[in-house]
Amino acid sequence: MNSMITRAIQWLDKIPHSLIAFVGRFSIAAVFWKSGQTKIEGLAIDLVDGTFQLGLPRLADSTIPLFKSEYALPLLSPALAAHLAAVAEHVFPVLILFGLATRFSALALLGMTITIQLFVYPAAYPTHGTWAAVLLYLMARGPGKLSIDHLIARRYAH
């Protein structure tokens, strides 16, 4: 029995970091991208359901009122917070998805996650903990071989 458990653990140890990182990158990028898409109009892209509406993005009419009421943050005006969140939820997920500046993009989204946890939805700690775990993994281990960061590192390692 003990050798069976040992073999199973050895088999699981062979799961490549690049696979874990890619799944983590795709998943966390989707979470933030889909949230960002609720804040804007004029640009709609969803690779999974096939939505493609290309246009100049702008804040949706409901976004600033949402930041005045439900998402009210200390120290930031609702308009500034809405714009910053909409930009962050589009730029950083794209960078993470392609694996470019992954560790720094993950750090930025971790900061956003902590802000959401502390000031917006404190009861959602199970969800935010999952996001934080993925982001911390990407920060600590990097994006893996299926990334632009890896290509850049290989190019300049020689």
pLDDT digits (tens, 9 = 90+) for 28-50: 999 999 999 999 999 998 888 88
pLDDT tens sequence across 72-121: 899 999 999 999 999 999 999 999 999 999 999 999 999 999 999 999 99
Q: Report the pLDDT averaged over residues 9-30.
A: 97
Measured between alpha carbons, how far is 70 from 73 in angstroms, rounded to an integer?
A: 9
